Amino acid sequence: MQSLQQYAEIPKQKHAGEYTEKHVKPKSHLTEPQGKIKNEKTRTQEELFIQLLEKADSLLTHLGGFPVHPSSAGLDAQLDEYIAFRWRSQNGSGHLIPVKHPSLVGLSDLIGIERQEKELDRNTRQFLQGLPANHVLLWGDRGTGKSSLVKGMLARYADDGLRLIGVSKEGLVHLQEIAEVLWERPERYILFCDDLAFSEDEPEYRELKAMLEGGISACPDNVLIYATSNRRHLMPRQVQENRYPQNDEDELYPREATEEKVSLSDRFGLRLAFHRISQDTYLQIVSHYAQKQGLSVPTEALHRAALEWEASSSGRSGRVAYQFVMDLAGRLAVGN
């Protein structure tokens, strides 16, 4: 104890920071253990940092489904096994992620859009048979079955070699990269761009234009683009575009700006419009889903409740009809 106290109580000289020579141990007695502890501490920090990096890398690989740059054999195995994929953009590039449980919509559930279904089915069959077919834009009111119709094509023709790849707006800059991956594959791929809308300064819309038509790279014969949007031309348009220049700040040739905006939608060879359904069609959809759920509710009471639900919802559509029936089925099951 006495030997420790002599290091704890070192008297100072008059000037701060100066110690009496007789109470201070020679530096040579402290240098070696201090250096050893410092080196051990540094090695421990480095080891912890390396472990942290390894865990982060493992987590990113797990979230990615498979590595960002999978081997050719690994990618071919994924494409052989699954019918639906998503393109995930990452670090300026991207990769395909298989969808193990795709949403397959039965076309018999889509009521009131028979004409659109017929047109899209014809185009898809031409595509599957290696015949000329068009890229498709499905546009119109929300909740009217645009996305469901595309997924219904996958459900109907997956056994015939049809495949679906979901591509977000951010992934459009990689369209040519996706096409190169699929070029030699025997299947027929639909690149599904859901709920598209662009502003004038977004680069993705020019990438989509180039892929549809006019780019330096060709589009493979086994790839088509099916896109859905609430906008007819995928881009907003203003009233002022339809008037002549009023002042020096207005564009001299406003028609050219308008042509630029509609040029994207014009590159879809087949454009299918979806409009708000009638009340009769809405109630027909309600009855269809109620029967499918096995609900024993008198038709008059069912339709009255459905109209009340519509009045408090976002509008009349097949989606609203489905949501009403699901809510009613749940309430009846719990006894409310």
Residue 116 has pLDDT above 70, yes or no: yes
- Residue 80's pLDDT is what? 94
pLDDT at 130 over 50: yes
Crossing angle of helices 204-212/254-266, nearest 10°?
Answer: 60
- The pLDDT, as a whole number, for residue 5 is 41
Q: Is the pLDDT confidence value at 258 over 90?
A: no
Cα separation, 118 vs 244, whole angstroms: 42
pLDDT in tens, 310-334: 999 878 999 999 999 999 999 999 9
3-state SS class at 54: helix
Alpha helices in 203-278 (DSSP H): 204-212, 254-266
Q: How confident is the model at residue 231 (pLDDT cuts 50, 70, 90)?
A: confident
Cα–Cα distance between 151 and 138 in angstroms, integer? 13
Residues 150-191: pLDDT tens digits?
999 999 999 999 999 999 888 888 888 899 999 989 999 999
CATH topology of domain 73-245+252-274: Rossmann fold (3.40.50)
Q: Can you tell me the mean pLDDT for 39-65?
A: 64
- Of residues 147 and 261, more confidence is placed in 147
Whether residue 204 has pLDDT greater than 60: yes
pLDDT of the residue at 10: 42
Where do the H-state alpha helices sit in the chain?
2-8, 28-63, 72-81, 114-128, 146-157, 175-182, 204-212, 254-266, 279-292, 299-311, 318-334
Global pTM value? 0.70
Give residue 288's pLDDT: 97
User: Does residue 129 have a pLDDT over 90?
Assistant: yes
11 band by pLDDT with thresholds 50, 70 and 90? very low
Mean pLDDT of 207-232: 79
Per-chain mean pLDDT for the chain:
79
261, 235 in Cβ contact below 8 A?
Answer: yes
- pLDDT per residue over 88-112, tens digit each? 887 677 889 999 999 999 999 999 9
pLDDT classification of 254: cutoffs 50, 70, 90: low
pLDDT above 90 as % of the chain: 49
**Three-state DSSP class for residue 20:** coil
**What integer is the mean pLDDT of 211-240?**
73
147-156, 192-201, 278-287: range with lowest mean pLDDT: 192-201
Question: For residue 15, what pLDDT is reported?
Answer: 46
Domain regions of the chain by residue span: 2-56, 73-245+252-274, 279-334
Confidence at residue 18, expressed as pLDDT on a 0 to 100 scale = 46
**117-126, Cβ contacts within 8 angstroms, sequence gap of 24 or more:** 117/149, 117/152, 119/270, 119/272, 120/149, 120/150, 120/153, 120/270, 120/272, 121/153, 121/156, 123/270, 124/153, 124/157, 124/162, 124/190, 125/157
Residue 257 reports pLDDT greater than 60: no
User: Is the pLDDT score of 209 beyond 50?
Assistant: yes
